[in-house]
Amino acid sequence: MKKHLPNAITCLNLLCGCLALTFIFSPGLHNLVVGAYLVGLAAVADFFDGLMARALRVSSPIGKDLDSLADMVSFGVVPGAVLFQLLKEAVGPQAPLGALAALPYAAFLVTIFSALRLAKFNNDTRQTNSFIGLPTPACTLVVAALPLILAQARAAHPDGPTAISSLILNPWALLALAVLLSALLVAELPLFALKFKNFGWADNRQRFVFLLMALVLVVALHATAVPLVVLLYVALSAVGRRPA
């Protein structure tokens, strides 16, 4: 029975991704917010399926493939869909025919490069204990945080747009974000993995420092902290990289 537990958690990741899509493609910012929370649940499931597989020593090729298939939905299709909806709102229903009207479809660059990232991960022996390129869950959390930040800004300032909400709904800023995330997904960028073989300080100092700093940011800034946490992750990976 225990050999099926990690795969069951992976399926929960997939279910959360599918449910997130149903909300994301429904009208209203509140539905995007619900989708974002479901993405968060998917990320938790994605973390624990691998942890449980290693703890129970039941890792398998099927589990690895199932994990990538689930990730493609939750952390490939979903971020593209969120960016698509945000770009649609940013462009507006009165957009003229032409390049501007087609701009929201550029959001699916993230979906395409997520597929490339996952295929690369499954065939890259260098990524057994670390990552090369931004992991798809980290990319997705940045995108999923945008509706939460937007809702937070609108709740705090209901009388009109703020600088942060105007930035989030700037079509060119969203396009730039899609291109940047797509590039980071397949970049030759070494990043540490949050995989604990033990809980000793010497072996996990970088991970513990990251988790503590991330917790402080989240407590202080809530949803706004998520992009900063991912930036912190990249920065700590670069600082902690050992010279060849």
Residue with tokens 């402080």: 216
Between helices 201-221 and 225-239, what is the axis angle to 10°? 150
3-state SS assignment for residue 162: coil
What CATH fold (topology level) applies to the domain 2-191? Four Helix Bundle (Hemerythrin (Met), subunit A) (1.20.120)
The domain limits of the chain are 2-191
pLDDT one-digit tens code per residue, 202-231: 778 888 999 999 999 999 999 899 999 999
Q: What is the pLDDT of residue 97?
A: 58
Burial of 24 (0-12, 13-18, 19+ CB in 10 A): buried
22 versus 61: the higher-pLDDT residue is 22
pLDDT one-digit tens code per residue, 121-168: 888 777 767 889 999 999 999 999 999 999 999 998 888 888 999 999
18 versus 193: the higher-pLDDT residue is 18
Task: Give the long-range contacts of residues 59-66, CB within 8 A, separation 24 or more.
Answer: 59/6, 60/3, 62/7, 63/6, 63/7, 63/10, 64/122, 65/122, 66/7, 66/10, 66/11
Residue 242 predicted with pLDDT over 60:
no
Residue 95 predicted with pLDDT over 90:
no
3-state SS assignment for residue 94: coil
Provide the token pair at 82. Answer: 């969120």
Q: What is the pLDDT of residue 211?
A: 93
Rounded Cα distance between 109 and 65, Å, is 23
Query: Could you tell me the pLDDT band of residue 244, with boundaries at 50, 70 and 90?
Result: very low
- Burial string for 227-243 (b: 16+ CB within 10 Å, else e) reads bbbbebbeebbeeeeee
The DSSP call for residue 159 is T
Q: What is the pLDDT of residue 241?
A: 62
